[in-house]
Structure 1
Amino acid sequence: MITTDVTGKRRTITLDRPERKNALTREGLDELHEAVADATESVLYLHGAGDAFCAGADLDTVGSLDEETAAGFAEQGQDVARALEQYDGTVVAGIDGPARGGGVELALACDLRIATPAATFAESGVTLGLFGAWGGTARLPRIVGEGAALDIALSGRVLDATEARDCGLCSRIVEEPRTVAESLAENDPTAMRRIKERIRDTDPDAEQERREREAFAELIAAFDGQS
């Protein structure tokens, strides 16, 4: 269900269940979590096989849940999303075709969401009487703002790539998202890691500025003057 491939400093993780639009079962979530935990490369590239990114949680799995097991399934998805978000490197989601529900939530946990013109996004759980519970209700408003998040989540409507880019749900639109991951793998991994830490720092400005100075000094210590 999950396959991996390593090229230099880039690891590609493929959601490989195209016959079900790469929908994730419990086993698929476990495999994805393991693939992220095993990675040491400076760039992770997450994408889907076939004509979809990820349809989210497998509906057969969802249909088998009861009140007790539902919380555990949600926690399992949250753990995977947290592993992507906290990865000690740069994580790129390459979105070609539909991203739905949990697929959007996994993409939200990545550092960059790079779409093709064919990409579409929807938090479609509300149409089934559900909602995204893999961290989406926390990450979506942080990324697109509360107003846009409520519109997306309450309506369940489909956003095309252009609207997703305009509201910040995706970072940019390109023909081949993999090329973005390839170019990032050429950058200095320590610098990228420090940038990610600094941008996500939520402490008061003065404390952030102090850490920024320290991180910059650390990078200068290793700087050889070559561009």
Structure 2
Amino acid sequence: MNKTKAYQDLGTINPLASLVERTNNFLYGFWYNKHITQKQYEKLKVNKEEAELAHLYFLQKAHKPGTPLRPIMSGLKSPTIEISRWLDSLLRPLFDRIAINTTVKNGLQLIQQVERWSTTYLTPATLFVTMDVTDLYTMIPQEGGVTAIKKLMEASGLKQIDGVKKEIILALTRFVITNNYFYLDGSYYKQIRAYRYGFLLNPDDENGLGVNGSGVYSTTTTTAFYH
């Protein structure tokens, strides 16, 4: 946490009530101005009696030297979780369609793609290079994530998805990305850099949505160079 500077320590000030109120007010404004339907508003608004801040826990990376820890933010009852899920349902099919030829979801798919690729491109001079991106999910700029979604839609020529305008999708994305809070060991924290692992087009593998400031690409862990 100290290394990446991705989290702001809020001390003992619990931001939950404020986040619930801001989230519901934000959604109400979209409903009032007819940017989302009544049904969508009812689905996305927060029940303050059930809402909880996310909790941070850690999983060991047993396959890496020194057994580092991977931080996992569990936010199943987070005030923004329904917005996040809804946005993912809108954008995931679009992303999958665009990235179908460049995304590797697991090791089996990697082997299958390499086998197909090898029939044409694999030569004795081919060099396979594996890379490990350190702190990937805390290195992606928050606004860069919004920009990536914008470029994703622009690349598809879409101004809306399922009746929801691009501007509304981007505003909701920005709200979710910039309002990640969690509790750990007696203190509350706000994520001020990047966004939580597992959020929006960011699956539990190394092939999620990447941002380079100028476009959208699929991050992969294996690259082949040939000459």
Q: TM-score with structure 1 length normalisation?
A: 0.21
Structure with the greater alpha carbon radius of gyration: 2
What's the TM-score once normalised by structure 2's chain length? 0.21
Greater relative CO (CA pairs within 8 A, separation 6+): 2
